[in-house]
Structure 1
Amino acid sequence: MATFILKEQFIPDHIFIYLVKGSLRIFDGNKHYVFKSGDAFFLRKNTLAKFELLEDVFEPVAFCFEESFLKEFQQKHSLILTPNYRITDALIEIKANKMIHSFMESIKPYHKGFMELREDFEDLKHEELILILLLERSELSDTLFDFSAPEKIDLRAFMNKNYKFNISAQDFAKLTGRSLSSFKRDFKHLFNVTPGRWLTKKRLQEAYFLINTKNQKPVDIYLDLGFESLSHFSVAFKKEFNLTPTQLMSETKG
């Protein structure tokens, strides 16, 4: 099972993924998507996503488009860009038609792993895929070739929406259009507490609500809330509320 993809939450570069085998659920902070064998999708850079495998057998093929490569591609090809077309969704579904399927067949002799092709064919196949994507979804041009840094956005709204994502303060800073120092300064001004402490408290409050009101089991919620292990979640919960999640479940049922 390719568990490495499950840990990817901050998407630093544009990624195209085609599912050869298996099925996958993705949450981008707004929507849930389910993809199965033969499906394809595109993840925008500087976004957040959570992944969940739905089958033991899982074989994806992924193409990562780094900014340096995209800048070279833009200089090499004459492209008509869609003016002022801004895609805001983190995930863009790609219709896996005959052209996509044929492309996936064409890389089999050169494919070495999840994101690996034989080096001498790597740039060629990345270019070919971009041209196919632009034929199918021309509006992707403004996304692929937007090299500007994330704009400074409303910090309170962003954190209240994305607190369940277990990413670093540096990544939160980048996604909100700030340096790390300015993120910490703005955060302290807004919430009067450090980002780490606020995130833990916010996640634990949500956990308490889900267990006490929705009868959710700790084992079913700790990963979704951004905790790395059940034991870490239980210790933090006990420290915050002076009882364990299991004790709260018992009180709720009683």
Structure 2
Amino acid sequence: MKVNNIQSCHLGPAISPELLIQEHYFLYLLKGSMKGYDGNKHYELQPGDYCLARKNHLVRYTKFKDNGDFEKIIITFDEAFLKQFLERHPYHAEASKDQDAFLLIPENTFIKNYIQSLAPYYTGDLQLDETFANIKREELLLILLKSQPDLANIFFNFGITHKMDLEVYMNRNFRFNVSLERFAYLTGRSLSSFKRDFMKTFGTTPGEWLKKKRLDEAYFQISRQHLKPSEVYLEVGFEDLSHFSFAFKKEFGKSPSEVTHV
């Protein structure tokens, strides 16, 4: 789907570049491409694709420019806006069983026309004021709910994160370098109950388990998939290559480069 005369724009509160998606947002890709990973599935977006990125999900993504350009439209649906929307348009929400971080939305004539309707405001000096920006956000939300009513279960479920299966969640998300406090929150626990449940589930502390799990994954990627240490350490949740190399040698008795050349 090609939309002409549109430039990058953002409606609503800014989104954080962190690994955690902190608010729902709609993403439409104009130029370039994008790959994402949520611990379970890989996603790929090409120009003309759009998706919904879901709040409270951990993701890792890579942007690829086209002739030096990467252009996108992002429209954030923050909780305050969604609650105001419900005052005008009552919707009932139930718990969603879908756990994907990105929901790819099928091509839709209404969405295509909506995207095109933004063109006059981003090709010149005219800027959207906050009131009109909220009207355009509301318009898009109505279109999404009309085409996919089940999205109400995602947008309007404001409850505290429910208590998740710790073993399933951690095995899916151990590669993400986030704090224990954040892992606790995302699994529906206080930090103290997270540590307590973790010991019951895995028989060790979260810190020790994460280090071992990440190093085992790194060993597999280097020895079996023949990746370079520099390609692996960030992927498995380490921040620093030298620290990764030190921990790797301590765990396996060989440096990452020695395993590479075996």
Q: For this structure pair, what is the TM-score category when the shorter chain's length is used for normalisation? A: 0.7 to 0.9
Q: Cα 1:108–1:237, aligned 2, differ >3 Å: closer, same or farther?
A: farther
Does the 8 Å contact 1:170/1:180 carry over to 2? Answer: yes
Match of 1:239 in 2: 250
1:74 aligns with 2:86: yes
Match of 1:89 in 2: 100
Cα displacement (A) at 1:201 = 1.8
The Cα RMSD (Å) is 2.7
Does the 8 Å contact 2:27/2:51 carry over to 1? Answer: yes
Q: Cα 1:229–1:59, aligned 2, differ >3 Å: closer, same or farther?
A: farther
Which of 19, 43, 49 aligns to 2:59? It is 49
Q: Percent identity?
A: 45
Which of 4, 20, 23 aligns to 2:33? It is 23
Q: Which amino acid aligns with 1:34?
A: E
Unmatched 5+ stretches in structure 1: none
Match of 2:21 in 1: 11
Q: Which amino acid aligns with 2:86?
A: Q
Does the 8 Å contact 1:24/1:51 carry over to 2? Answer: yes
Match of 1:199 in 2: 210
Match of 1:129 in 2: 140
Alignment of 1:94-133 (within 5 A): 94-110=105-121, 118-133=129-144
Cα displacement (A) at 1:170 = 1.9
TM normalised by structure 1 equals 0.84
The 1-side partners of 2:248 and 2:128 are apart by 45
Moved more, 224-233 or 176-185: 224-233
**More helix per residue: 1 or 2?**
1
Q: Secondary structure at the match of 2:30?
A: strand
The 2-side partners of 1:84 and 1:199 are apart by 29
Cα displacement (A) at 1:73 = 0.6
Residue correspondences, number: 244
Q: Cα 1:155–1:90, aligned 2, differ >3 Å: closer, same or farther?
A: same
Moved more, 166-175 or 18-27: 166-175
Cα displacement (A) at 1:85 = 6.0
Deviations 1:77-114 (A, max 9, x none): 144x47676433222111243322222232345459xx
Q: Secondary structure at the match of 2:116?
A: helix
Match of 2:201 in 1: 190
Which of 36, 40, 62 aligns to 2:74? It is 62
The 2-side partners of 1:63 and 1:165 are apart by 25
Cα displacement (A) at 1:192 = 4.2
Q: Cα 1:157–1:70, aligned 2, differ >3 Å: closer, same or farther?
A: same
Moved more, 163-172 or 4-13: 4-13
Q: Secondary structure at the match of 1:143?
A: helix
Q: Secondary structure at the match of 1:237?
A: helix
Does the 8 Å contact 1:8/1:51 carry over to 2? Answer: no
Q: Which amino acid aligns with 1:50?
A: R
Unmatched 5+ stretches in structure 2: 1-13
Q: Secondary structure at the match of 1:178?
A: coil
Q: Cα 1:117–1:23, aligned 2, differ >3 Å: closer, same or farther?
A: farther
Q: Which amino acid aligns with 1:223?
A: L
Match of 1:165 in 2: 176
Q: Which amino acid aligns with 1:14?
A: H
The 1-side partners of 2:120 and 2:39 are apart by 37
Cα displacement (A) at 1:213 = 2.7
Cα displacement (A) at 1:19 = 0.7
